[in-house]
Chains A and B, each alone.
Chain A
Amino acid sequence: MAEPILAGVAESDLGETPDRNWLDNAAIATVRALEDAGCQLAEVDGVAVAGGDDYMPALVLSEYLDLDEPSFLEGTEIGGSSFEHFCGHVRDAMARDEADVVVVAYGSTSKTGPGRNQSLEETHPIDGFVRPTGLFRPPGAYAMAARRHMHEYGTTEEQLAEIAVATREWAAMNPKAAQREPITVDDVLESREIAAPFNLLDCCLVSDGGGAVVLVSEEKAAELGVPEIAVAGVASTSTHRQDISEMPDMTTTGAAVTGPKAFDQAGITHDDVDVAEIYDSFTYTALVTLEDLGFCEKGEGGEFVSGGTTAPGGELPMNTQGGGLSYCHPGHFGIFVLIEAARQLRGDYEGDRQVDDAEVAVAHGTGGLLSSSSTVVLRRES
């Protein structure tokens, strides 16, 4: 099957953007990603967008960018993994010659913008079984899953903290990262309690900002002369949505299904993976995903991440821009996972920030409350 090429990537301004709304940030990221690809806005014939505060986000973004009769419109909302999920639909559309230049975009003002607080009359009946419990979501839901993992496999808070520490080492090298001061395991354990067993440094940031990636057909990529970063495998699934107690097994995510599928499509094994960009809304998110993707056995994630395995110079460089834990997290982090994977494969960086000779990257998104999982394998073809 023809593989879409990731031709351009960009962020909007990150951190705090009080003078911007979500559409501004999505549009700014879009034009920057198009510039990165060497493409014009007029060439865009498809958009895929999630996360905006609108129930027809693809139409809104198309209108905002004044696109001329786009042939590909995608606004499926599956949370933070939506953008990885879109890669599969873009692949299908390009295989049908339905699109040549598709923008996958996200924008948010999670930090400075208005909060979303629907009343229980306005929302669906499932919320009546969730919100009256007072559960602090998302942290408390992920914390419940983490505690179950600790119970079943002996995973420790120290091991979870190792992920935060390694991720911060990467952030220290990223000027765009919000948190760059080195931290220790003790710093994590001594940070403010949020939702036990999570402390503050187990939890991602809350940021404003947007991101975009431009996916083009192989023909278009050749015309643009961009490095061929191909979408070589994609798979998505979900296990539940709103109520974490509906997750069949809180120690296993949908990544256990999507990882093998995406790896198989790409024809790769774990040894081929040079860099892993794994959604890290919380330390546990990354830990359980590494297990489910098969980088270690189920239950051995704590041991696997100990000793700097995912840090600069480690065996499996992970979240090399500083992740949602230290770089930014404007609500849906999945777009940033793709952006960084592409940059590593293009060799955009210098020194320790660049993973040597990176050819294969895994970009994995997680949405909701460990609810949706989408794995993308990216491979540099030229």
Chain B
Amino acid sequence: MTGRVEDRREDWEGPVPVPTGATVPFWDGTLEGELRYQECDCGHRQLYPRAVCTACGAEDPLFEASEGVGTIYTYTVCHVPGEPGFGERTPYVVGAIDLAEGPRLLALLDADPDDLEIGAAVGVAFWQVSDEAAIPVFVPE
């Protein structure tokens, strides 16, 4: 387990991921509180998941479990909702998170905008938003 899974299916009105193709194992992992990335035999690590390794072209690179910790590469504070269901949430923070293992991931940051800075340590939690997926959300460590 890398992060706690919180069931938000009742009140989530935002977009819901639709697992397809190479993303299926990733979303399956989120339901178990596991943040998965792909690590190819060639050593390359990547997210979002793809059917091919972008370094060597190998097909279906295997998934590994991340520790679920990383740092904030950058972030923005959205004062205007960007998607349906986010109207009540403003201002909210979206960041690009550099995982300790390397890959970078776009994610909601569940934090007070005033307490954030680039480089700060964050850890993953999951909000289950459908029967098929939980979205990774990062909180300051």
Q: Which residue numbers of A lie inside 8 Å of B, CB to CB?
A: 120-121, 125-137, 139-141, 143-145, 147-148, 151, 192-198, 243-246, 250
Known contacts A133-B106, A151-B74; A193/B79 CB under 8 A: yes
Could you tell me if A144 and B23 are in contact, using CB atoms closer than 8 angstroms?
Answer: no
Which residues in B have some Cβ–Cβ distance to A below 8 Å? Answer: 14-23, 27, 47-48, 73-83, 85-86, 89, 91-92, 94-97, 104-108, 113, 118, 129, 133, 135
Question: B27 to chain A: which residues have CB within 8 Å?
Answer: 128
A129 with B108, Cβ < 8 A, contacts A120-B17, A134-B86 known: no
**Residues of the B chain whose Cβ atoms lie less than 8 Å from the Cβ of A143:** 76
In the complex formed, the residue of A with least CB distance to B107 is A133
Contact B80 A125 (CB under 8 A): no
Kindly provide the distance from the CB of B49 to the nearest chain A CB, expressed in whole angstroms. 9
**Can you name 30 A-B residue pairings with CB atoms under 8 Å?**
A120-B15, A120-B17, A125-B21, A125-B23, A128-B18, A128-B133, A129-B23, A130-B106, A132-B17, A133-B106, A133-B135, A135-B83, A136-B76, A143-B76, A144-B74, A144-B76, A148-B118, A151-B74, A192-B79, A194-B80, A195-B78, A195-B79, A196-B79, A197-B76, A243-B48, A245-B73, A245-B97, A250-B73, A250-B74, A250-B96
Contact indicator B89/A134 (Cβ below 8 Å): yes
Q: Report chain A residues within 8 Å CB of B118.
A: 147-148, 151
Known: A125-B23, A128-B23. A145 touches B14 (CB 8 A): no
CB pair B76–A131 under 8 Å, yes or no, is no
Cα separation A143 to B91 with both chains bound (whole Å)? 14
Measured between beta carbons, the chain A residues less than 8 angstroms from B18 are 120-121, 125, 128
Q: Say which residue of A128, A139, A193, A197 sits within 8 Å of B17 (CB atoms).
A: A128
Decide: B82 and A120 in contact? CB cutoff 8 A.
no
Partner of A145, one of B15, B74, B82, B129: B74
